[in-house]
Chain A
Amino acid sequence: MATNEAAAPLRILILDDEPIVCKRLKPAFQKLGHTVETFTDSGQALARLGEAVFDLVITDLKMEGADGLQILNGAKASSPATQVIVITGFATLETAKESYRKGAFDFVAKPFKLRDILDCVKRIEDRRRDLPADSGS
């Protein structure tokens, strides 16, 4: 049986060059009380990562301009505690491995069930609860 004890709200950045992905993920996280910013342009997202700290970044892999791995690097550079979930419609073993090697928390192939990504975020929340010292800067 699931519990609904509320964790501290997360600051989440969502980046996908297809607006539909942002539009659908945003309300799902807002509903759980998290604050969400969405971007469809990776340059703008990268700039935003330079000026604000996020607990979680959900990014597409293949995009015009900076790709998902560059976003991953950017997120980790601005705040090592930031967790990154890579979502992609071009999932290969190689890109998955590379994402994990660079420190992605999870790698999710599109299309995915909303529930899957919510569970994934729940695991991040659980980990933050277990390791409070590590939770953001």
Chain B
Amino acid sequence: MANRLAQLLTFWRPPNEALPFTVLFKKFQSILERNNLILELMADMGDKLGGEYIFDGHYIAEAAEKLGDQVFKLISDYSILNQHQNADLFVAFERIRYAIQEELAGHHILTGGGPVAELTEIGCEQSELAGAKMATLGEIRRRLELPVPDGFVITTRTFFDFFQRNNLFDRTETAARLWQEQALDDLRQLSEEMQQRILAAAMPRRLSQQILAAFDALAKRQHNRKLKVALRSSAWGEDGSSSFAGQYRSLLNLGRDELIDAYRQVVASAYGIEAWRYRLGKGFLENETAMAVGCQAMVQGLVSGVLHTYAPQAAEGAMLVNAVWGLCAPVVQGDASTDTILLDRRPPYPPLGVTVADKPRQLVQAEDGGTRWQELPAVLRKSVSMNPAQMEELARAAMSIERYYKRPQEIEWTFDRDGRLVILQSRPLRIHVEAVAGQGITEATRDAEIVFSGRGFVAQQGIAVGKVFLVENDRDLAAFPHGAILLSRYTSPRYSAVMPIAQGIVTDVGSPTGHMATLAREYRVPTVVNAEIATSLLKTGDEITLDATQNIVYRGNIGALDRFELIEEEVFEDSYEYRLLGRLLKLISPLHLLDPQGEDFTSAACRSYHDITRYIHEKAVEELIHLSEKQGARSLSAPKRLTTELPLGLMVIDGGGGTTCPPESPAIAPEQIVCLPLKELLEGMGGMGMWCTEPVAVDLSSFMSSFTRTFSATMARPEEIGRNLVVVLDHYMNINMRLGYHFTIVDAYIAEKINDNYIYFRFLGGVTEFIRRSRRATFIARVLAHYDFLVEIHGDLVVGRLKKLSQQRMARRMRMLGGLVGYTRQLDARMHTDRDVDHHVELFLQTMQACLGE
């Protein structure tokens, strides 16, 4: 309401302040151009995460700067157009830019983190808050869909609050000096004193309340009033390049009353002399020490153990498992004899060797808290603790985790009372390989058959070895075997269903900025798209090695390549630059403002650059109509509503020579339009009659008539559509049209002189289901390409450009675009499978050929 009033007041200004419409229209065009540039820049930055490009910190800073500059200018252009200060937009912009600059300056911002965080909210982006160990578990749960113990994290924010309140940091800095002077006795004394102070420190009431509330919520979820939990350290740097294995404490089987005290014990273990010396020896600074603590519901493990996904010292190509009856702790601490099992690293991961140990006792949860040893009956002592089905299930999970992290993993696991596999922890496994890097690869690849190379685009880098599985429909997808390489004609975001278990993906068609590519990057599945000939050269069952780093597909298993990747010094996805770019994109790309009719479609709700861009685009169109209505009489004719049977809600602004309509008339009839591009576009859009009079096949005409019905039925009430806008000259047209949730822009100039002619077409999908949206984008792209457009797809956005064709051919294409816009409006409802895309493309092209003769 206040907004309305403000808008009215704006127009009460003296008329001499108003800008001529031509100036405002130029601003409007500039908004459209920037809008495109911003979307393209965002897509480019997203591409860089795929690993195909070598980029550096300079690139990240420059790209972010350029993008920020464009968004700022976009808001400025819009401010001239709507003649407001738009403080909300500038504030939203500055907030985002500030966060980006802080990231670039290397200042981590603990954003949005409270004292506790549920495991379901945590992924690798939250590792500052949740510590490495718990962030990894959250990621394994979220990305790989593997079960992990339910629980929450007492975050590093709590750690800092707890320490600051109790002045616990005041002496930690002296440790570095003592270490330098090798005053180890003093350091030991400091360590003792520090631990005692932590154990005696008061936990702020606010924090303990939140921790206990999270515990109660967990107990409720678990339907267990006497819930017991495990507390595990999850410190910064733990599980990174230094393992800290066994340096920090974990406490098992704790009740509610013991929780806060146990928290103190786990945190105090960070200052135990061994852990502290380890940190100092590794060069960690005191301000790099922070500990989150994971609180997990206890899992009553029947059989548990540790798995190394890669164990060249035991056997090449094997995983190594140590397993015991009962809880996992004895395997980690090394105080029990364990069964030793070697599993093949290749599906279906058969056992290569099983050595059964004599296991006289097992560790179990004690009824009154803590753990206790229990004697095992003779029959269990000497029998193997895992069955073959468990071995295979564990191996699958392990290979998924390794594939995702691109590092050999050390995984703590257990099978619970219900026989369910639960991943307790996973950390990168340090392997010291003596051999020179790269040796053996040249030999291995020299004689290998190259199926194809340098084809298409790398959407996600990496190495995949496995058997090809061709996916043509949902049935194939449901049958997709673990560890296979997905082969398909097209890309589809539906493949995300098997991404946690796929080794790699190759498609004939597709774009590195499409939805599936984005998902492949999220799941880190090595992926090559648009390889064109993959399905003609490969078939289900073929064993291949997909090198999606060099972009080569070899026939057969080239283990040397796979191994090389596992022992590379640094994983790209772990590099600072990758993480930085990922964090920046989270501030830039997500679109929260989805529904222009929604209540939260406001400037104050903009949380990303994408939001700002989307908001301004939508509002700029409204504004232009509004402006021309208000001041139209002075500089040009007022916008007129187009009277047409199609309920388009189209307002026409004539900038000169575009219509024959008298200036005072409020409406315009189609016959009064002179502007060639608009005439053709409307002809194509509304010309259903024309389509039906053409001689077309029976099924085709019946299809078209059903289409016509849908079209008018759902668009019967123009007042619900909102107003769309077209600005015309005699040979020029700029139309901005929202039909349903789709936003189409066509900007075209068509005249005699071939060299001046162009059509720019842009389609942005709306809030429909992700997959159908992407099918629709594919459909549009293929139709446009058929008509010689240069096409780009970035997710939902399809851009087509066409230049320098004769007036006649340009006109036909405008008519085709009209048909396309009409056809596409209802299309997503019809796109049930990927095959429908082919079907619709064929149908549309046939119809067009009948109508246009081209």
Residues of chain A within 8 A of B572, CB atoms compared: 24
Q: Taking the complex as formed, is B570 at the interface, i.e. its CB lies under 8 A from any CB of chain A?
A: yes
Contacting residue for A23 out of B53, B55, B448, B570, CB 8 A: B570
Residues of chain B within 8 A of A100, CB atoms compared: none
Whether the Cβ atoms of A2 and B450 lie closer than 8 Å is yes
Q: Indicate the size class of the contact surface on chain A.
A: 20 to 34
Q: Taking the complex as formed, is B56 at the interface, i.e. its CB lies under 8 A from any CB of chain A?
A: yes
Whether the Cβ atoms of B550 and A118 lie closer than 8 Å is yes
Residues of chain A within 8 A of B551, CB atoms compared: 115
Q: Taking the complex as formed, is A124 at the interface, i.e. its CB lies under 8 A from any CB of chain B?
A: no
Contacting residue for A21 out of B56, B448, B561, CB 8 A: B56
Beyond A4-B445, A4-B448, A6-B442, is A25–B54 a contact (Cβ under 8 Å)? yes
Q: Taking the complex as formed, is B568 at the interface, i.e. its CB lies under 8 A from any CB of chain A?
A: yes
Contacting residue for A20 out of B446, B461, B568, B576, CB 8 A: B576
Q: How far is the CB of A110 from chain B (nearest CB, A)?
A: 6
B438 (CB) vs chain A CBs: closest residue: A30
Interface centre among A3, A110, A111, A113 (most CB of B within 10 A): A111
Whether the Cβ atoms of A20 and B437 lie closer than 8 Å is no
Q: Mark A10-32, 1 if CB is under 8 A from B, else 0.
A: 00000010101101111111111
**B interface residues, tally (CB under 8 Å):** 37
Q: Taking the complex as formed, is B257 at the interface, i.e. its CB lies under 8 A from any CB of chain A?
A: no
Identify the stretch in B57-65, B222-230, B591-599 within 8 Å (CB) of chain A at 4 or more residues.
B57-65
A88 (CB) vs chain B CBs: closest residue: B58
Whether the Cβ atoms of B52 and A5 lie closer than 8 Å is no
Contacting residue for B54 out of A3, A9, A117, CB 8 A: A117
Docked Cα-Cα span, A110 to B577, in Å, equals 14
Residues of chain A within 8 A of B576, CB atoms compared: 20
Docked Cα-Cα span, A135 to B71, in Å, equals 52
Whether the Cβ atoms of A27 and B575 lie closer than 8 Å is no
Whether the Cβ atoms of B52 and A113 lie closer than 8 Å is yes
Q: Taking the complex as formed, is A89 at the interface, i.e. its CB lies under 8 A from any CB of chain B?
A: yes
Whether the Cβ atoms of A111 and B53 lie closer than 8 Å is yes
Whether the Cβ atoms of A114 and B564 lie closer than 8 Å is no
B61 (CB) vs chain A CBs: closest residue: A89
Whether the Cβ atoms of A27 and B58 lie closer than 8 Å is no
Task: Give B510-535 interface residues, CB cut-off 8 Å to A.
Answer: none
Q: Taking the complex as formed, is A131 at the interface, i.e. its CB lies under 8 A from any CB of chain B?
A: no
Task: Give A97-136 interface residues, CB cut-off 8 Å to B.
Answer: 110-115, 117-118
Q: Mark A65-95, 1 if CB is under 8 A from B, else 0.
A: 0000000000000000000000001000000
Q: How far is the CB of B18 from chain A (nearest CB, A)?
A: 43
Q: Taking the complex as formed, is B628 at the interface, i.e. its CB lies under 8 A from any CB of chain A?
A: no
Interface centre among B51, B52, B438, B564 (most CB of A within 10 A): B438
Docked Cα-Cα span, A2 to B48, in Å, equals 25
Beyond A1-B452, A27-B564, A33-B441, is A114–B58 a contact (Cβ under 8 Å)? no
Q: Mark B562-587, 1 if CB is under 8 A from A, else 0.
A: 00100011101001110000000000
Q: Mark A30-52, 1 if CB is under 8 A from B, else 0.
A: 11111000000000000000000
Docked Cα-Cα span, A114 to B462, in Å, equals 13
Docked Cα-Cα span, A60 to B546, in Å, equals 31
Q: Taking the complex as formed, is B454 at the interface, i.e. its CB lies under 8 A from any CB of chain A?
A: yes
Interface centre among B51, B53, B56, B576 (most CB of A within 10 A): B56
Interface centre among B48, B437, B452, B552 (most CB of A within 10 A): B437
Whether the Cβ atoms of B441 and A31 lie closer than 8 Å is yes
Whether the Cβ atoms of B58 and A110 lie closer than 8 Å is yes
Whether the Cβ atoms of A89 and B441 lie closer than 8 Å is no
Whether the Cβ atoms of B450 and A4 lie closer than 8 Å is yes
Q: How far is the CB of B718 from chain A (nearest CB, A)?
A: 48
Whether the Cβ atoms of B56 and A115 lie closer than 8 Å is no
Q: How far is the CB of A28 from chain B (nearest CB, A)?
A: 7
Whether the Cβ atoms of B56 and A33 lie closer than 8 Å is no
Q: How far is the CB of A62 from chain B (nearest CB, A)?
A: 9
Docked Cα-Cα span, A20 to B55, in Å, equals 8
A111 (CB) vs chain B CBs: closest residue: B55
Residues of chain B within 8 A of A18, CB atoms compared: 56-58, 577
Q: How far is the CB of A115 from chain B (nearest CB, A)?
A: 6
Interface centre among A6, A9, A23 (most CB of B within 10 A): A23
Residues of chain A within 8 A of B442, CB atoms compared: 6, 9, 32-33
B446 (CB) vs chain A CBs: closest residue: A6
Residues of chain A within 8 A of B448, CB atoms compared: 4
Residues of chain A within 8 A of B54, CB atoms compared: 21, 24-25, 110-114, 117
Whether the Cβ atoms of B438 and A31 lie closer than 8 Å is yes
Beyond A21-B54, A28-B549, is A33–B454 a contact (Cβ under 8 Å)? no
A89 (CB) vs chain B CBs: closest residue: B58
Contacting residue for A113 out of B53, B57, B564, B577, CB 8 A: B53
Whether the Cβ atoms of A34 and B438 lie closer than 8 Å is yes
Residues of chain A within 8 A of B437, CB atoms compared: 27, 30
Interface centre among B54, B568, B569 (most CB of A within 10 A): B54
Whether the Cβ atoms of B550 and A114 lie closer than 8 Å is yes
Q: Taking the complex as formed, is B453 at the interface, i.e. its CB lies under 8 A from any CB of chain A?
A: yes
Residues of chain B within 8 A of A25, CB atoms compared: 54
A32 (CB) vs chain B CBs: closest residue: B442
Whether the Cβ atoms of B452 and A31 lie closer than 8 Å is no
Residues of chain B within 8 A of A112, CB atoms compared: 53-54
Docked Cα-Cα span, A115 to B62, in Å, equals 23
Whether the Cβ atoms of A2 and B56 lie closer than 8 Å is no
Interface centre among B55, B453, B458, B575 (most CB of A within 10 A): B55
Residues of chain A within 8 A of B569, CB atoms compared: 23, 26-27
A27 (CB) vs chain B CBs: closest residue: B568
Contacting residue for A33 out of B55, B59, B438, CB 8 A: B438
Whether the Cβ atoms of A89 and B59 lie closer than 8 Å is yes
Q: How far is the CB of A53 from chain B (nearest CB, A)?
A: 20
Task: Give B445-474 interface residues, CB cut-off 8 Å to A.
Answer: 445-446, 448, 450, 452-454, 458, 461
Docked Cα-Cα span, A127 to B188, in Å, equals 64
Q: How far is the CB of A2 from chain B (nearest CB, A)?
A: 4
Residues of chain A within 8 A of B458, CB atoms compared: 115
Docked Cα-Cα span, A34 to B454, in Å, equals 20
Docked Cα-Cα span, A26 to B54, in Å, equals 12
Residues of chain B within 8 A of A29, CB atoms compared: 438
Whether the Cβ atoms of A28 and B59 lie closer than 8 Å is no
Q: Mark B87-119, 1 if CB is under 8 A from A, else 0.
A: 000000000000000000000000000000000
Residues of chain A within 8 A of B55, CB atoms compared: 20, 110-111
Q: How far is the CB of A100 from chain B (nearest CB, A)?
A: 21
Whether the Cβ atoms of B454 and A115 lie closer than 8 Å is yes
A62 (CB) vs chain B CBs: closest residue: B58
Q: How far is the CB of A108 from chain B (nearest CB, A)?
A: 9
Beyond A2-B450, A2-B454, A30-B437, is A111–B59 a contact (Cβ under 8 Å)? yes
Contacting residue for A111 out of B48, B549, B550, CB 8 A: B48
Whether the Cβ atoms of B57 and A31 lie closer than 8 Å is no
Docked Cα-Cα span, A110 to B549, in Å, equals 18
Docked Cα-Cα span, A61 to B54, in Å, equals 15
Task: Give B540-568 interface residues, CB cut-off 8 Å to A.
Answer: 549-552, 561, 564, 568
Residues of chain B within 8 A of A26, CB atoms compared: 569
Whether the Cβ atoms of B52 and A20 lie closer than 8 Å is no
Docked Cα-Cα span, A111 to B48, in Å, equals 9
Interface centre among A6, A24, A114 (most CB of B within 10 A): A24
Q: How far is the CB of B668 from chain A (nearest CB, A)?
A: 50
Q: How far is the CB of B842 from chain A (nearest CB, A)?
A: 32
Whether the Cβ atoms of A2 and B438 lie closer than 8 Å is no
Docked Cα-Cα span, A74 to B307, in Å, equals 51
Docked Cα-Cα span, A58 to B335, in Å, equals 52
Docked Cα-Cα span, A20 to B60, in Å, equals 12
Docked Cα-Cα span, A61 to B672, in Å, equals 61
Q: How far is the CB of B546 from chain A (nearest CB, A)?
A: 14
In the complex, 10 of the A-B residue pairs with CB atoms within 8 angstroms, ordered by the A residue number, are A6-B445, A20-B575, A26-B569, A31-B438, A33-B441, A111-B53, A111-B55, A111-B56, A111-B59, A115-B550
- Known contacts A21-B56, A28-B550, A32-B438; 17 further A-B pairs (Cβ under 8 A): A2-B450, A5-B446, A6-B445, A9-B442, A18-B56, A20-B57, A20-B577, A26-B569, A31-B549, A33-B441, A89-B56, A89-B59, A110-B55, A111-B53, A114-B51, A114-B550, A115-B52
